[in-house]
Amino acid sequence: MNWTVILHIAKTHLVTKIKQTATAALGVTFGIGAYITLVCFMTGLNSMLDDLILNQTPHIHIFNEIEPSKNQPIDLYTKIESSLNMVHSIKPKQSQKKIHNALPLLIYLNNDAKVRGATPQIKTQIFYMAGSIELGGNLTGIKVLEEARLFNFEDYIINGTTLDLQNTDNGILLGAGIADKMSLDIGDRVLVSTIKGDIFPLKIVGMFQSGIADIDNIQSFVKLKTIQRILGEAENYITDINVKLYDLAEAIPMAQRIEAQFNLKAIDITTANAQFETGTTIRNLITYAVSITLLIVAGFGIYNILNMLIYEKMNDIAILKATGFSGKDVQMIFMSQAIIIGLVGGFLGLLIGYVLSSIIDRIPFNTEALPTVTTYPINHNIWFYVIGITFAMLSTFLAGYLPSQKANKIDPVQIIRGQ
Amino acid sequence: MNPVLEAKNINKYFEKPVSFHVLKDINFKIKEGEFASIMGKSGCGKSTLLYILSTMDTDYQGQLFLNNELITGQKRDILSRIRNKHIGFVFQFHYLLSEFSVLENVILPAKKLGEKSLPEIKAYAMEKLRILDIHTLADKKASRISGGEKQRVAIARALINDPAIIMGDEPTGNLDSHNSENVFNIFRQLCDDQGLSLLVVTHDKDFADKTDRIIEMEDGRIIHS
């Protein structure tokens, strides 16, 4: 095979038919450009939405579930083993909300090599009191700095800092929704009442906004020590432990192990947020479906133009074959045209995709939900570009293969005698 | 004298639209340096025979020898190579690649053969063009020259690889008498000066009469050679 001649002929065809060549290449360019833009934007959006939930969600959430015993006393009575027993209206057994031996458990978890960190929490229901109004809500006691390190807690503080909460003994990080309802601001005092009826004044050191209104309307945070004092509990009173792992895939087996080993409830992130996984998958599916459609359309453009070119060049093909070019040579002429169109169009497409997504990356995007996000999210991943150019080459190869196969099969005698 | 081309018991059938015996027991030889023409009425099978001899049509029975080597039943790639190196074609229509210059058209088969370097090929092509008196057109686009000139370019292209034989299918069929004369003289000269073998299918009685040998065909048979 003599590539210089083949490429020379291919190039001459492409250059003399520059308009058709450009049309075919532009088809690929737009296909790839749209794919890059779409996939960068969609995956950027996806990871932003996932972060919205997953960043503040622990990989494993350990707590003491209040539930009825699975084994009722009658099950232990062996004499009626073969018969059916029925116990109506089973109640949960008397149990404590706190995690038994929480502090040693925390130390154990933090020493595990797979664990990035385990942090204790105390959750309780309280009332926010403003004059005669009582608003129900949740108060969570946290280890502030650990929470910031593991769960990006500071992303959701819109006024004030984590340090303010850490350094103020009676400080509270008030949910933005509650603050609005009660017209409270930083530096004000808010009264909270426990279920038992004890009332405590707390100083507002910051606002908390997660972006999910239902949470912002009830949720506030205080230090672990503060809440233990409010509830009148000892230092080992801990209701929840949140674990963050290095590898998300470890969450399920580890949760199962903790449940079995410590007789506690341990929920892993994939079970708790299955719907996000589904949402991400479907959004990716849509992105790829649209991109592949675009590329198939571009592929048909190339197919069409090469087909036309081959009909136009019947005589040339016949004489090339008569003067000693084999069918393979002629096929390679048209294949190399398709591949040149694919390469040029594909790389231009990557460029256009990069430029477009960079522009999108600079468009301001302000949303209440995400105080840290200022522009539209874009995920520039080198793999998208690799996939893009691979697909461009693949589709042009296929689009070029069929017409060039036809050129291979053309019988020169028929063409020459048909004149 | 060695035979350049030899056909032994060539038979060919057309299957469509009805089964038809086109060529019947064709036997003949072309010697080295011979200028032969094939004559016959339309439909007598002379072009069909030429395309079998040209190796482009492989659907026949019998045997075909080029330079005493059997070429019947060879693979298509090898046949392409044989056409490239040993056979030159001149058709009724010039079949030049219109986007390429005259020189590029002439050197394409030599570039495909790849036995010489590009400067050597170009120099050789210019020599051929000079022999045919069209060297001034070398850089013109093939679509920009006259019909007679195009046919001469086609002859130059046929000569570029120094083939063993040149085959022509009505090479003067589209030309006026002046240009026909011209093409004949070129052929004559190539035959006499360079000892080239030629086999030309033609309708033109005057043209045929001036060749060394006339092979006459009728109804798929050679009736006189």
Alpha-carbon gap: A323 to the closest alpha carbon of chain B (Å): 5
The DSSP code for A276 is: H
Contacts of B91 in chain A (CB under 8 A): 322, 416, 419
- Touching check for B214 and chain A: CB below 8 Å? no
Residues whose CB is less than 8 angstroms from the CB of residue A9 and which lie 6 or more positions away in sequence, other chains included: A320, A333, B97, B108
Is the predicted pLDDT of residue A362 greater than 70, yes or no? yes
Q: Best of B48, B51, B90, B144 to disrupt the A interface by mutation (most A CBs within 10 Å)? A: B51
Report yes or no: A12 and A336 within 8 Å, Cβ to Cβ.
Answer: no
CA separation for the pair A178, A218 (Å, rounded) = 7
CA separation for the pair A231, A199 (Å, rounded) = 10
Is the predicted pLDDT of residue A39 greater than 90, yes or no? no
The ipTM assigned to this model is 0.87
Return the bridge partners of B166, or none. B88, B198
Look at A101-115, A150-164, A240-254 and tell me which has the smallest mean pLDDT: A150-164
For the segment B149-177, the average pLDDT, to the nearest whole number, is: 88
Is the predicted pLDDT of residue B139 greater than 80, yes or no? yes
CA separation for the pair A204, A180 (Å, rounded) = 13
Cβ–Cβ of A319/B95 closer than 8 Å?
yes
Window 10-29 of A: residues touching B by CB (8 A cutoff) are 12-13, 16
Residues whose CB is less than 8 angstroms from the CB of residue A154 and which lie 6 or more positions away in sequence, other chains included: A148, A161, A162
The DSSP code for A7 is: H
For residue A327, give the nearest of B54, B76, B99 by CB distance.
Answer: B76
- Touching check for A417 and chain B: CB below 8 Å? yes
Three-class DSSP category at A364: strand
Contacts of B97 in chain A (CB under 8 A): 9, 12, 316, 319
Cβ–Cβ of A326/B80 closer than 8 Å?
yes
What pLDDT shows up at residue A369?
64
- Touching check for A315 and chain B: CB below 8 Å? yes
String of DSSP letters for A51-119 = HHHHTTS-SEEEE------SS-GGGG-GGGTTS-----S--PPS--SSPTTHHHHHHHHHHSTTEEEEE
Going by C-alpha positions, the residue among A28, A24, A26, A42 that lies closest to residue A294 is: A28
Is the predicted pLDDT of residue B218 greater than 90, yes or no? no
Cβ–Cβ of B113/A12 closer than 8 Å?
no
- In percent, the amount of chain A with pLDDT more than 90 equals 14
Q: What is the pLDDT of residues B23-66, one digit of tens each?
A: 888 888 888 888 999 998 888 888 888 888 888 888 888 899 98
More confident residue, A277 or A126: A126
What pLDDT shows up at residue A402?
87
Q: Which CATH number fits domain B33-60+74-224: 3.90.1150.10, 3.30.950.10, 3.40.920.10, 3.40.50.300?
A: 3.40.50.300
pTM above 0.80, yes or no: no
Please report which confidence band the pLDDT of residue A350 belongs to, taking 50, 70 and 90 as the band edges.
Answer: very high
Contacts of B169 in chain A (CB under 8 A): 416
Window 342-381 of A: residues touching B by CB (8 A cutoff) are none
* Crossing angle for the helix pair A327-362 and A274-312, to the nearest 10 degrees: 140
